[in-house]
Chain A
Amino acid sequence: MPLIIKIMLFSLLCSLPAWELVWRLLNDELGANPVEFLEHATGDWTIYFLLMTLTITPIQKVFKPNWNKWLFPMHVVRRVLGLSALAYALLHLATYLVFDMGLSLDDTITDIIERPFILIGMIALTLLVPLAVTSTAGWQRRLKQHWQTLHKAIYLLTFLGILHYALLVKADLLQPLIYLGLFGILMLFRIRIQR
C-alpha cells in the first residue's frame, strides 16, 4: 500500500472520536448539557493523543519494532498522533469560544484573567501550535539540533493540559490523577533512557 494511503487511513482512524461527536450532535445524543459533553470529550481526546504521542519513543526503545513493516516510519506515526492532539485541542477551544463565550472577546479576556485554569489551557494550546507547524521533515532539517529542544515542549504542555483539567474539577480528582500518573510513567521512561 502506498505510504500516503496508509497515512490517510491512520489519520481517519484518529478522527473517529470526532465523527462520533458529530453523530451524537446530529442525533441529539449529547445529553442534558451538550456543550459540557463536547468540551469534556474533546479535552479528554486531546490528552489521550498527547499521551499516545509520548508513548512512541518508549515503545521504540523497549521493543525496537520495525515501524516501516507494520505502518510507516516512527516519526510519521508520532506526527499524525501529535497533529491529532492539536485537532482535538482546536475543537475544544472552538466549542468553548462559540458556546461558552458566545464569541465575545471581552468575555474571553475576562475569563482568562479571572480563571487560572483557562489561562493554563490557553498556554498549553499555544505551545502546541509551533510544534505542529515544525513537525515536517523540512523544518526538522532547517532547525537541526534545535528541533529536538523545541519539541521537548510537549512535556511541559502535556503537564499543563492535565493541570488545566485538575483545576477545573470540583472535588473528585481521580481522573486527572490517572492522567498525571500515566504522564509520570512516560516521563520516568525518558529519565531512565537518558541514563
Chain B
Amino acid sequence: MSLDIEKLRGLFPILHQEVHGKPLIYLDNAATTQKPQSVIDAISDYYEKDNANIHRGAHALADRSTNYFESTREAVRAFINARESAEIILTKGTTESINLVAATFGRKFIGAGDEIIISTLEHHSNIVPWQMLCEEKGAVLKIIPINDQGELIFEEFVKLTSERTKFVSVVHASNALGTINPVKEIISHAHKVGAKVLLDGAQSTSHLDIDVQDLDCDFLAFSAHKLYGPTGLGILYGKREVLESMPPYQGGGEMIKEVSFEGTTFNDIPFKFEAGTPNIGDVIAFKKALEFIQELGKGAIKAHEDELLRYAVEKLSDIKGFIPVGVAKDKVSVLSFSIQGMHPFDVGVMLDAKGIAVRTGHHCTQPLMKRLGLEGTVRASFAVYNTKAEIDALAEAVQKIARIKNK
C-alpha cells in the first residue's frame, strides 16, 4: 500500500518552516528523525495531567504514570516481538544500552584471552565500550573487514570465530553507508561457537521489521529518537536467561529489592537494570511514535524509503564529480557521497544555505572512514516524510555545488 506523504507531512509541524529563507528539506534522519504531533502532545499531556514518579507512589497520578510507562514497555516488546516485557530495559539510548552490556555481561563473562568481534562498519558507540572492556580484562578485539562496496565480508567473520570468541557485537544497518548486514547468519554462526550476540539496531529499527525471536539475537540496542520518538531514551532487549545471569549496572532506586548496610538484594529484570527515576514523560510519549510506525506499516515505510534512495542515486549519479560511498546491495535509506575536489564540510554548509539539512564528516565511524581512505562524506538520509521533490532539490543543489570544482 502506498502512503499519502503529503498528509503524513502534515503530522510533523517542524517540517513546515524556512531555513535561511528557503523551505526546510530535512535529510539528516539517520542522526535523528523529526517527531509527529502525537509524540509532542503526549509529552506536554504527561506534564499537564499525569506527572508523578512511577512504581512506588500510592496515589492516582503515580498509578496512571506507572501504567502508561509500563504500557510503552509492552508496546516495545510487541514492536520487536520479544517474548515478554521483562526483556525490555529502558535506557538513555543505544550508547548506554551497549555500555550496559559491556559493563555487566562483559565484566562478568569476558576474561583474559577471550575474543570479542565487531565490524569495520561500527559506530564509535559499538567500538569504544568493547575496547575499554578488552583493556580492563586482557581480552582481544577482532574486526570483521569490509569489501570496497562497503559490505561486511561474511567469510572473514567466519574465519575470525573460534572457541575463544565470547561475544559478537555488530551493527544491523550502518549509519555511515546504510549497509544492511546479514545479521541472522552472523548470529547463527556466533552461536555455533558459543558466543553471545548484540545487534546495534540504531539505524535498522525504523526501517526494517525486527523480530528478536526470529533473529535469535541475545541483545538488541536502539534509540527512540531515530524512531520518531523523543531523545534521551533507548532500549536494550535481552533474552531473559542472559539478563538474569548478569550483575546490575548501576546502584540505587528501582534496581533494589532490599537494602541493609550488611548487603543488598536486587530486583528482578527489567528493574534490576533501571536505577534511578527514568525519563518518564518521554517513555510514555514513545508509545505514540511506535503507534505512528505501526499504523503506517514497516513494509510501506521501507517501500517508500527504498524508492527515495533509488531515485536519489539515479538523480545524483548523473552529476559530474559525484562519488557514491558505500554501494552495498542491501541498504537502508542512506546516501553517502563525496564531491570530487571538495571537502564534505564545504558541501554541507552550501547545502544548508539552500535549506537542505544533511550530515557531513566521519559520522562517528572514524575507523570506517580510514578504511575507505576518506576524511568524511556528505550523508543524505531519508525518512518516511521525505519526498521526490526534496530529492530533486538536493540533486539541483549538489549539481550547482559540484560545478565549482568539476567544470
Query: Does B associate with A?
Result: no
